[in-house]
Amino acid sequence: MSAKYEPLPTYPERQPSQPTRRKRPISTQLEFLRSLMSQPKAILGLVIMAIFIIMAIAAPVIAPGDPGRFVARAHQPPSAEHWLGTTGQGQDVFMQVVWGARISLFVGFTVGFLSTLLGLIIGMTAGYMHGVVDSVLNMFTNVFLLIPGLPLLITLASFLPPGIITVILVLTFTGWSWPARVFRSQTLSLREKDFVSASVVSGEGSPFIIFSEILPNMLSLVVSSFFGSVTYAIAADAGLAFLGFENVNSVSWGTMLFWASNNSALLQEAWWTFLPPGLCIALVSFATTMLIYAMDEVTNPRLRSEKEIIRVLKRFRIGSKRSTPVVREPFK
């Protein structure tokens, strides 16, 4: 009953505790980015996002001129001169879409950044501090969570002067509580980990622990939350603008929708006045959602291993079975 042993290909001598791969160790964050970049969903999301950002920045180059200017007769369908036709006010739709991206994306990303920041500050403080501080901040967060979002948005927007600053403030005001809750619960759980206790025993102060030990472990959550806020902000901004709470003379995707509605675009069958801005909003949301999905996959090991399993099954042409497959072919 002897065990036959197949000779292995030769390989260089290895000491027991050598790293098996790269020469320079790569940090956890870089590792995370690398695997993120290799996901098709992430690439798709980034590409779409990049297109829109470039479009917004290069607006003067792509569609030179003032997008609010009267250029032709109203409600002209798309043509060679005006690629996406004209609005009910006789403005060029294509120019409006390109320039409108600026405001929409600016509002989206600013609100995303501010609500994430506010959520981090309040959420992490509450999660780490325990006791009275936590109770107070937590109650505060819960109150904001419970207030119905849209009515609050409308109420606030209606007695503040219309404009971008208002919209940003209002959206941040209603949007910080959800991230705060998420960050608080993650901080609570990370706080109990041994490496945090080890820092305390080393004499580390609380602020350093929060920023240097706990926060880096929440990186993927923060980024996901940021993109989630961006998605919310862009859609909510469009909604507010559609309802007329933004400066209707400025050009953004939301105001385009407002004017389209005002000018009875549906009745006029002027689909080119509302379809492009709507599509842009949808595409940007799609891009951010793809990024969030990709991040989920990278950080959730179970999702990753399921993909691996499907890959293995396909490679050996095994149907999905419950029992371990037996494949008696030598490989390589």
Partner 1 sequence: MAQNGRPRLSENLSNSQSLLDIRDLKVVYLTARGPVRAVDGVSFAIRPGEVVGLAGESGSGKSTIAHATLRILHPPALITGGHVLFNNRDILEMGEIELEQFRWSNIAIVFQSAMNALNPVMRVRDQLLDVMQYHGIPKAVASEQAIALFDLVGIDPQRLDAYPHQLSGGMRQRVVIAIALALKPSLLILDEPTTALDVVVQKDILHQISELKEKLGFSIMFITHDLSLLVEISNRIAIMYAGEIVEKAPARVLFDQPLHPYTLGLMNSFPSISGDKHRLTGIPGSPPDLVNPPPGCRFHPRCAQAMPICSQEAPVTRSMSDSHSVACHLYAEV
Partner 2 sequence: MTQTSSDPMLNTDQPARKPPILDVRGLTKYFPIGTFVSNRLVHAVEDVSFSVRRGQVVSLVGESGSGKTTIIRLIARLIPVTQGEILFNGIDVLKSEPRQASLDYRRKVQLIFQDPFASLNVVHNIEHHLARPLIIHKKAANRSDIHDLVCNLLETVGLNPAPEIARRYPHQLSGGQRQRVAIARALAVDPELILADEPISMLDVSIRMDILNLIDDLKAKNDISYVYITHDLASARYIGDKTMVMYAGHMVEGGPSEDITRNAMHPYTQLLLSAVPDPHAGLRTDSGVTVRGEVPSLINPPPGCPFAARCSKVMAICRQEIPGTSEIDSEHWVRCHLFV
| Site residues (vs partner 1, CB under 8 A) | 1-5, 7-8, 10-11, 13-17, 20-21, 305, 308-309, 312-313, 315-316, 318, 321-331
CA neighbours closer than 13 Å in the CB half-sphere of residue 303:
9
Give the shortest CB-128-to-partner 2 separation in angstroms.
Answer: 14
Give the shortest CB-219-to-partner 2 separation in angstroms.
Answer: 8
Exposure string of 22-42, with b = 16+ CB inside 10 Å and e = fewer, is eeeeeeeeeebeeebeebebb
Give the shortest CB-21-to-partner 2 separation in angstroms.
Answer: 9
**Rounded CA separation 78/115 (Å):** 39
Residue 69 or 193 with smaller CB distance to partner 2: 193
The entry of partner 1, partner 2, none that residue 195 binds, CB within 5 to 8 Å by partner kind: partner 2
Residue 17 or 249 with smaller CB distance to partner 2: 17
Give the shortest CB-217-to-partner 1 separation in angstroms.
Answer: 23
Which residue matches tokens 């941040």? 172
CB contact at 8 A, 93 and 210: no
Question: Which residues lie near partner 2 (CB under 8 A)?
Answer: 17, 19, 24-29, 193-195, 197-204, 212-213, 216-217, 219
The entry of partner 2, partner 1, none that residue 3 binds, CB within 5 to 8 Å by partner kind: partner 1
Q: Which long-range contacts (CB under 8 A, 24 or more apart) does 152-155 make?
A: 153/236, 153/239, 153/240, 154/240, 154/243, 154/245
Q: Tally Cβ neighbours within 10 Å of residue 231.
A: 21
Which residue matches tokens 């509450």? 126
Residue 12 or 64 with smaller CB distance to partner 2: 12
Both structure tokens of 271:
């689909």
The entry of partner 1, partner 2, none that residue 1 binds, CB within 5 to 8 Å by partner kind: partner 1
**Rounded CA separation 70/117 (Å):** 41
Give the shortest CB-11-to-partner 1 separation in angstroms.
Answer: 6
CB contact at 8 A, 253 and 239: no
The entry of partner 2, partner 1, none that residue 249 binds, CB within 5 to 8 Å by partner kind: none
**Rounded CA separation 329/323 (Å):** 18
The entry of partner 2, partner 1, none that residue 199 binds, CB within 5 to 8 Å by partner kind: partner 2
Residue 12 or 330 with smaller CB distance to partner 2: 12
Give the shortest CB-243-to-partner 2 separation in angstroms.
Answer: 43
